[in-house]
């Protein structure tokens, strides 16, 4: 798996050997045959072209009226290990299937929104789902499709609406929290638009174990997306901005645990994108061109004085060409084919400003160019069996190039049973800080760093009988070339970064069961994770077990939503000692409930409660999470 050239050659030759380019014959969907429908509608994450019949399963969520700030609406996604540094708005990371926090790629309408600064990850504290119409989660190594950061999975937020929306929501409650949002959206055959504005503020809670200072958070987000559709072309656009302000506490020597302090972090991000799609008439080819700009501006203040700033910018141009081929008969099977070609180029900039100290000068400006080429070959052997093979090559201007592949297969064993298999590699390129450190004058840069690499295998099945659905997944991941950004070089007498020798091992099982009826649904699931670091120890902040159950039921005027989420005991490190001592964080269960009353058509009043068991828990050592909270909300559909 060290080179994808043989695979690329095979994929390029296969369509030519199997038939000439012709209009693709129409096919019958699984929903039409009464078999398991893999998705409720078109998905855009499993492949680089939208499809109603993806080879690999995608978890789909409709945020609806769920809380827009934070991760509450996503807690039932399998193997989502959440680490929140105290109150709402504090640094929040997600580790998927035991991977690192920057190994999950986050997209908005197909555009990468990973922050080029710091660890080049995504801070879920800044997540605002207001106006988002759909969430798709594709676990596993997906770099052959989506490139950098898709080492352990992809989380995709979509803004295109499926219906007309004229909605106003307001909410207030515990910790002096206030929220308001307005959304205007519509969708029809020839155009769509979605305008959303949301503002949230809270005094927060005290995250330190002692003291009484509240750590507040402000989050303001807006976006405008839209598109026009014609017979042979479509044009789409998106402009999105999120601004947050979060209080946080310093971690002074010698305990290195949060202590009350006047520290503030602000984050400002702007995403602008435009896309053009051209379709053939006689021949159903499709060409998609996208141009996007993503910018972030982060600053830190201490006692009212700005101490550091970081700025990131990413330009990206992508071309996706879809070539369907004629159906042909092969070995008694009706064979359908599709080839997708990908070309991408991105330019990233990173700038850091701050006062020099005895440890070095943080001021720096860096840049990186990456050019990528890839393709995916999709084969439908018959109504029951589908295959996909993908390969991608990333050429980097500042460090070694990288390759990634993905193979997938799904088989309709019986009308009620679907089986699937995935194999592939995922990559995470070195970040600016990993290559140059926080103080480049004292940090020894390493231009020979290689991308972190994950070798992934997963096997799963879904069984559906009547209103019941059961899904089981078994996976195995092996992470190599893990980057250590704090390696001491005794020869040159300083710290540098390096790729670790050895392999980190992760394997686990995921299970989800659901039952739907006319007025509601019940869902339950659990995930088990076994991890082993390079030194043989269990990795920190990865609970062994997680589980959830949710219930939704609606009467004529009343709707009830209940949920419970269990997080097993997990390890963390106490840096008050040297070397850092491993400590255990207690298991906890979070329960929530919401009652919504329809006052009249288009008008509703609700009461929402979170952490109803009033659990005292920590996702990170020393960072206390909020206790029980109640909120009153009111919504109007105009």
- The helix/strand/coil state of 432 is helix
Contacts of 5 (CB under 8 A, 6+ apart): none
**CA angle, 242 as apex, 236 and 243 as ends, to 5°?**
160
Residue 445: give its domain's CATH number.
2.40.170.20
Give the pLDDT confidence score for residue 500 in this predicted structure: 92
**Does residue 352 surpass a pLDDT of 90?**
yes
Give the pLDDT confidence score for residue 324 in this predicted structure: 83
**Does residue 312 surpass a pLDDT of 80?**
yes
**What average pLDDT does this structure show over 314-334?**
82
**What average pLDDT does this structure show over 130-134?**
93
Question: Cα dist. 391→10, 12, 404, 511 in Å?
Answer: 11, 11, 6, 29
Contacts of 404 (CB under 8 A, 6+ apart): 4, 141, 143, 144, 147, 391, 392, 394, 424, 425, 426, 427
Give the model's confidence band at 200: pLDDT under 50 very low, under 70 low, under 90 confident, else very high. Answer: very high
Give the pLDDT confidence score for residue 563 in this predicted structure: 95
**Does residue 120 surpass a pLDDT of 70?**
yes
Give the pLDDT confidence score for residue 330 in this predicted structure: 64
Let me know if residue 387 belongs to a domain. yes
Let me know if residue 12 belongs to a domain. yes
**What average pLDDT does this structure show over 609-625?**
95
Let me know if residue 92 belongs to a domain. yes
pLDDT-wise least confident of 110-114, 185-189, 395-399: 395-399
Give the model's confidence band at 595: pLDDT under 50 very low, under 70 low, under 90 confident, else very high. Answer: very high
Enter the pTM of the model: 0.91
- Beta pairing class for 111-112 and 165-173: unpaired
**Does residue 590 surpass a pLDDT of 90?**
yes
**What average pLDDT does this structure show over 240-262?**
92
**What average pLDDT does this structure show over 420-433?**
94
Do 78 and 527 contact (CB within 8 A), yes or no? yes
Distance, CA of 563 to CA of 13 (rounded, Å)? 51
Terminal alpha carbon distance of the chain: 55
Let me know if residue 519 belongs to a domain. no
pLDDT-wise least confident of 230-244, 327-341, 494-508: 327-341
Structure confidence by residue, pLDDT tens digits, 519-530 = 999 999 999 999
Question: Cα dist. 377→21, 460, 471 in Å?
Answer: 14, 22, 26
**Does residue 23 surpass a pLDDT of 70?**
no
**What average pLDDT does this structure show over 225-254?**
94
* Of 144, 168, 140, 169, the residue nearest 154 (C-alpha): 140
**Does residue 134 surpass a pLDDT of 80?**
yes
Structure confidence by residue, pLDDT tens digits, 34-46 = 333 333 468 899 9
Give the pLDDT confidence score for residue 283 in this predicted structure: 65
Let me know if residue 511 belongs to a domain. no
Give the pLDDT confidence score for residue 568 in this predicted structure: 97
Let me know if residue 348 belongs to a domain. yes
Give the pLDDT confidence score for residue 303 in this predicted structure: 84
Give the pLDDT confidence score for residue 343 in this predicted structure: 97
* Of 365, 386, 390, 511, the residue nearest 1 (C-alpha): 390
Give the model's confidence band at 15: pLDDT under 50 very low, under 70 low, under 90 confident, else very high. Answer: very low
Give the pLDDT confidence score for residue 236 in this predicted structure: 97
Give the pLDDT confidence score for residue 332 in this predicted structure: 64
**Does residue 31 surpass a pLDDT of 50?**
no
Structure confidence by residue, pLDDT tens digits, 559-574 = 999 999 999 999 999 9
Let me know if residue 45 belongs to a domain. yes
Q: Domain range spanning residue 302?
A: 5-499+556-562+599-637
Give the pLDDT confidence score for residue 65 in this predicted structure: 65
What whole-number percentage of the chain has pLDDT above 90? 72
**Does residue 62 surpass a pLDDT of 90?**
no
Let me know if residue 587 belongs to a domain. no
- Average pLDDT over the chain, rounded to an integer: 89
Distance of CA 309 to the CA centre of its chain: 25
Domain count, the chain: 1
Give the model's confidence band at 394: pLDDT under 50 very low, under 70 low, under 90 confident, else very high. Answer: very high
Give the pLDDT confidence score for residue 18 in this predicted structure: 32
**CA angle, 284 as apex, 281 and 286 as ends, to 5°?**
100
Do 604 and 635 contact (CB within 8 A), yes or no? yes
**What average pLDDT does this structure show over 475-502?**
90
**What average pLDDT does this structure show over 9-33?**
33
Enter the tokens of residue 97: 């299937």
């Amino acid at each position: 798996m060290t080179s994808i050239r043989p695979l690329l050659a095979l994929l390029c030759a296969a369509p030519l050997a199997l038939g000439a380019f012709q209009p693709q014959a129409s096919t019958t969907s699984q929903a039409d045959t009464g078999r398991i429908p893999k998705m409720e509608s078109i998905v855009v994450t499993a492949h680089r072209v939208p499809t109603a019949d993806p080879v690999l399963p995608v978890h789909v969520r409709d945020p609806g009226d769920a809380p827009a700030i934070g991760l509450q609406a996503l807690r039932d996604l399998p193997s989502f290990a959440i680490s929140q540094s105290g109150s709402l708005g504090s640094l929040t990371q997600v580790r998927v299937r035991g991977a690192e926090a920057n190994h999950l790629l986050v997209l908005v309408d197909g555009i990468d929104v990973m922050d080029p600064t710091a660890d080049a990850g995504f801070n879920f504290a800044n997540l605002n789902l207001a106006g988002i119409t759909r969430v798709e989660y594709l676990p596993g190594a997906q770099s052959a499709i989506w490139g950098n950061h898709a080492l352990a999975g992809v989380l995709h937020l979509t803004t295109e609406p499926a219906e007309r929306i004229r909605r106003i929501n307001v909410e207030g409650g515990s910790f002096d929290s206030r929220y308001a949002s307005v959304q205007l959206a519509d969708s029809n055959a020839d155009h769509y638009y979605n305008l959303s504005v949301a503002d949230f503020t809270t005094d927060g809670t005290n995250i330190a174990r002692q003291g009484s200072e509240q750590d507040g958070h402000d989050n303001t987000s807006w976006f405008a997306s839209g598109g026009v559709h014609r017979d042979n072309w479509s044009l789409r656009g998106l402009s999105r901005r999120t601004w947050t302000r979060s209080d946080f506490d310093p971690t002074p020597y010698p305990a290195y645990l949060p202590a009350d302090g006047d520290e503030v972090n602000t984050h400002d991000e702007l995403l602008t994108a435009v896309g053009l799609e051209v379709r053939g008439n006689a021949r159903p080819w499709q060409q998609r061109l996208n141009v996007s700009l993503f910018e972030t501006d982060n600053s830190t203040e201490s006692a009212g004085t700005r101490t550091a700033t970081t700025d990131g910018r990413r330009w990206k141009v992508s071309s996706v060409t879809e070539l369907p081929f004629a159906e042909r008969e092969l070995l008694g099977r009706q064979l359908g084919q599709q080839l997708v070609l990908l070309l991408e180029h991105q330019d990233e900039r990173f700038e850091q400003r701050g006062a020099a100290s005895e440890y070095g000068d943080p001021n720096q400006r860096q840049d990186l160019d990456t050019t990528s080429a890839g393709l995916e070959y999709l084969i439908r052997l018959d109504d029951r069996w589908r295959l996909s093979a993908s390969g991608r090559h990333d050429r980097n201007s500042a460090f070694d190039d990288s390759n990634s592949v993905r193979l997938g297969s799904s088989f309709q064993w019986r009308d009620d049973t679907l089986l699937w298999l995935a194999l592939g590699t995922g990559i995470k390129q070195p970040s600016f800080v990993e290559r140059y450190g926080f103080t480049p004058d004292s940090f020894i840069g390493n231009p020979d760093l290689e991308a972190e690499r994950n070798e992934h295998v997963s096997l799963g099945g879904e069984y559906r009988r009547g209103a019941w659905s059961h899904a089981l997944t078994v996976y195995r991941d092996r992470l190599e070339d893990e980057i250590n950004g704090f390696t001491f070089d005794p020869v040159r007498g300083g710290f540098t970064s390096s790729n670790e020798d050895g392999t980190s091992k992760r394997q686990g099982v995921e299970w989800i069961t659901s039952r739907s009826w006319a007025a509601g649904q019940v869902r339950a699931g659990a995930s088990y994770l076994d991890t082993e670091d390079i030194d043989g120890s269990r990795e920190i902040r990865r609970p062994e077990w997680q589980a959830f159950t949710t219930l939704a039921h609606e009467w004529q005027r009343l709707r009830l939503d209940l949920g419970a989420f269990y997080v097993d005991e997990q390890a963390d490190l106490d840096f008050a000692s040297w070397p850092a001592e491993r400590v255990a964080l207690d298991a906890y269960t979070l329960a929530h409930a919401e009652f919504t009353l329809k006052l009249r058509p288009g008008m509703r009043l609700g009461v929402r409660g979170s952490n109803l068991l009033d659990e005292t828990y920590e996702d990170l050592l020393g960072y206390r999470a909020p206790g029980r909270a109640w909120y009153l909300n009111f919504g109007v559909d105009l």
